[in-house]
Structure 1
Amino acid sequence: MSDRVEGNSINSLITYSQMREKFLSPAFCLYVGAEVAGALHYAHTCKGENGAPLGIVHRDLNPARIFLEPEGGVILTDFARARSLLPGRVASTLPRPHGDVFYCSPEALLCEETDPRADLFSLGLVLLKLATWRHLYSTANVRPDDLEEALTEKVKGKVLDAAITAMEADLPDHADDCILRAATFTREDVDEITEPLAHPLRSIVRRLIHRDPEDRYQSAAEVEADLRAGLAALGVPYGATEALDEVLISLTGASMSRGVLGPTSESQLPPAMVTEEDIITERGGTT
């Protein structure tokens, strides 16, 4: 059975903010991030009827999977590519990236073992894109030859194996660029690309997108706590109502600047079809 969820994907909201030529506020980014982190915490800590952990990892967290509902709530959708220990799930015999390669963690792109911390890296990339329109894996300002020269022999072998796997898995052509960038980005690259972010979002995103999972946040609950603390530190209330108001302003601004959208209202946010079983809201449970 399917359930109609009305709202806008974060991917659409990024597009609208670009059309308006104005970033969404740090408060909006903190709010969305906290809600998604709460949903991830719920998913990552789910247990089966026997009390055993289900080991859920989303593996396809990207702006197209996150929706802002007409009332301003945030939902995380599409667990179709999730890894889990649910009965009937068959483990893949070919370790490879799942979902949108632009938002995969380095370990996923390099066909290494992944765990919930891979979802946290993806959340960091989503927040970076939402707040700055920039992406860590972009190769627009780097030469592929320079990246290849930066590879050690050991890492070069991993990149080659990952590229072969990407070809065998019929991943898009840009997967090779993402694999190479994931293997070569430096701490300085992270610092530079996150510099435009306001505090405390900057420090949170920087910690989320460390290459080594051991250097990231170790749980979605930690991420949610820091994001909510950052939101509270702003000193003004910001929740579903304020997020919806900001999005409606953004939609109206996009319409006025580009003339491609009609008048907007809460009831006119575009609908999206998702599967009921694919939706996980904040940690209170599934819808």
Structure 2
Amino acid sequence: MILFSHGDLSYEVDLSRPLVEELAQSRLGEMTVPAWERTEKKRLREVIVRSLPPTSSDEPETLERMRARLREEAHLATYLQHPRIARTLGPYEVQGVLYIVSDRVEGTSINTLITYSQMREKLLSPAFCLYVGAEVAGALHSAHTCKDENGAPLGIVHRDLNPARIFLEPEGGVILTDFARARSLLPGRVASTLPRPQGDVFYCSPEALLCEETDPRSDLFSLGLVLLELATWRHLYSTATVRPDDLEEALTEKVKGKVLDAAMTAMEADLPDHAEDCILRAATFTREEVDELTQPLAHPLRAIVRRLIQRNPEDRYQSAAEVEAELRAGLAALGAPYGPKEALDEVLLSLTGASMSRDVLGPTSESQLPPNMVTEEDIINERDSTP
């Protein structure tokens, strides 16, 4: 079935393959589906197609805001031209239906690799963590420093950096995906109806969780959390060893007000139940806890991750380029080459070991469809609003 055509290309859904697990649709008719990009004679590549209908009899204003947000996402993607960033093309409007097309990334997410390493009961190497971190930092630097046609900074912040957004390709390359929730300074942006954390709260920076202003250093904090989990299976926001009452007692009156406001926002935005715990941990974790969590890491990964996950943005690295340089220097200091081939070899070994494990849960679902489609609350804020 042909969804739509644009120029010499068509986008085709393969009705012979099961779509029950892969097709997603929102209450206002937004649809996300895997498809083939093809010419008249042959299929070229697999993609992800997202679409929005032209009208909604129930909520026309909300739908129009969503359509504007989707157009903005596609416009922003035209500036994200980097080999380590998955592409998004469009928007295309056919018979009133709005479409955008994204790369369907081949490979395995870091989220799944963490699960496999746990199943195998063997951590991935410091070299692998340094390599993945450096590749992601390079992609972030490109995004953070994008400028428009007039040379004006676009101020892009990913805001949803987590292990499910990072993929290891079949040849060992690393791809960063899904800038759907990115903040930017594109002209004519649609105002948000509710300032709230964007993306997976378990990997949000403290300032994002407390509904404060975010900037590129917020993405660096999220990268630090990803590397910490990849290297240790541990997480800064875990409450397994602390009591919520003890955390609340540690709050000053000023911070307690911020936490309460953020918790109310999380409830209004219908964020997951664990969002409140993440907010409380983000407001109370100490430098000593950061030191303890990162202590098992090998040098220099320990020092890099430790600096990335400081609560105060001023205490972190100030640019993704700085992070990339440190990670690559750490990788070089190991004395043996480590790149795509070595990363792939290590992962293949990890997958083999995990497949032989018993009495463990299955691996994380490897759906490559965006788990969170555009909603009214995903509209990006005006420049002078709280992100």
Is TM-score (shorter-chain normalized) higher than 0.5? yes
Deviations 1:52-82 (A, max 9, x none): 1111000000000000000100010000000
Equivalent position to 1:5, from 99, 102, 105: 105
Matches of 2:356 and 2:122, distance apart in 1: 13
Give the CA deviation at 1:257.
1.6
Equivalent position to 1:106, from 190, 206, 220: 206
Alignment of 1:271-282 (within 5 A): 272=368
1:70 lines up with 2:178 in the alignment: no
Matches of 1:173 and 1:273, distance apart in 2: 23
Q: Whose helix fraction is larger, Structure 1's or Structure 2's?
A: 1
Deviations 1:250-271 (A, max 9, x none): 000000123999xxxxxxxx78
Alignment of 1:227-266 (within 5 A): 227-258=327-358
Look up the match of 1:170.
270
Q: For structure 2, which runs of at least 5 residues remain unmatched after alignment?
A: 1-100, 371-387
Matches of 1:235 and 1:47, distance apart in 2: 37
Equivalent position to 2:302, from 198, 202, 206: 202
Give the conservation status (yes or no) of the 8 Å contact 1:105–1:119. Answer: yes
Task: Report the secondary structure of 2:303's partner residue.
Answer: helix
Alignment of 1:1-287 (within 5 A): 1-258=101-358, 272=368
Matches of 1:20 and 1:196, distance apart in 2: 19
Deviations 1:223-259 (A, max 9, x none): 0000000000000000000000000000000001239
Matches of 1:165 and 1:6, distance apart in 2: 36
Matches of 1:221 and 1:148, distance apart in 2: 37
Give the conservation status (yes or no) of the 8 Å contact 1:7–1:271. Answer: no
The count of aligned residue pairs is 267
Q: Whose strand fraction is larger, Structure 1's or Structure 2's?
A: 2
Higher normalized contact order (CA 8 Å, seq sep 6+, divided by chain length):
1
Deviations 1:83-110 (A, max 9, x none): 0122453242422101000000000000
Point out the structure with max Rg over C-alpha: 2
Matches of 1:117 and 1:165, distance apart in 2: 23
Give the conservation status (yes or no) of the 8 Å contact 1:5–1:271. Answer: no
Give the CA deviation at 1:28.
0.1
Give the CA deviation at 1:117.
0.3
* TM-score, normalised via structure 2 length: 0.67
Give the CA deviation at 1:5.
1.6
Matches of 1:102 and 1:197, distance apart in 2: 21
Give the conservation status (yes or no) of the 8 Å contact 2:119–2:360. Answer: no
* TM-score, normalised via structure 1 length: 0.90
Matches of 1:236 and 1:171, distance apart in 2: 44
Matches of 2:358 and 2:149, distance apart in 1: 52
Task: Report the secondary structure of 1:198's partner residue.
Answer: coil
Q: 1:154 to 1:139 in 2, by over 3 A?
A: same
Task: Report the secondary structure of 1:257's partner residue.
Answer: coil
Give the conservation status (yes or no) of the 8 Å contact 2:154–2:185. Answer: yes
Give the conservation status (yes or no) of the 8 Å contact 1:62–1:126. Answer: yes
Give the conservation status (yes or no) of the 8 Å contact 2:196–2:208. Answer: yes
Give the conservation status (yes or no) of the 8 Å contact 1:56–1:83. Answer: yes
Q: 1:253 to 1:54 in 2, by over 3 A?
A: same
Matches of 2:103 and 2:219, distance apart in 1: 25
Task: Report the secondary structure of 2:133's partner residue.
Answer: helix
Matched AA of 1:224 = E
Matches of 1:86 and 1:191, distance apart in 2: 38
Root-mean-square deviation (CA), in Å? 1.7
Give the conservation status (yes or no) of the 8 Å contact 1:25–1:131. Answer: yes
Matched AA of 1:229 = A
Deviations 1:25-69 (A, max 9, x none): 000000000000000000000011111111100000000000000
Aligned-residue identity in percent: 89
Task: Report the secondary structure of 2:357's partner residue.
Answer: helix
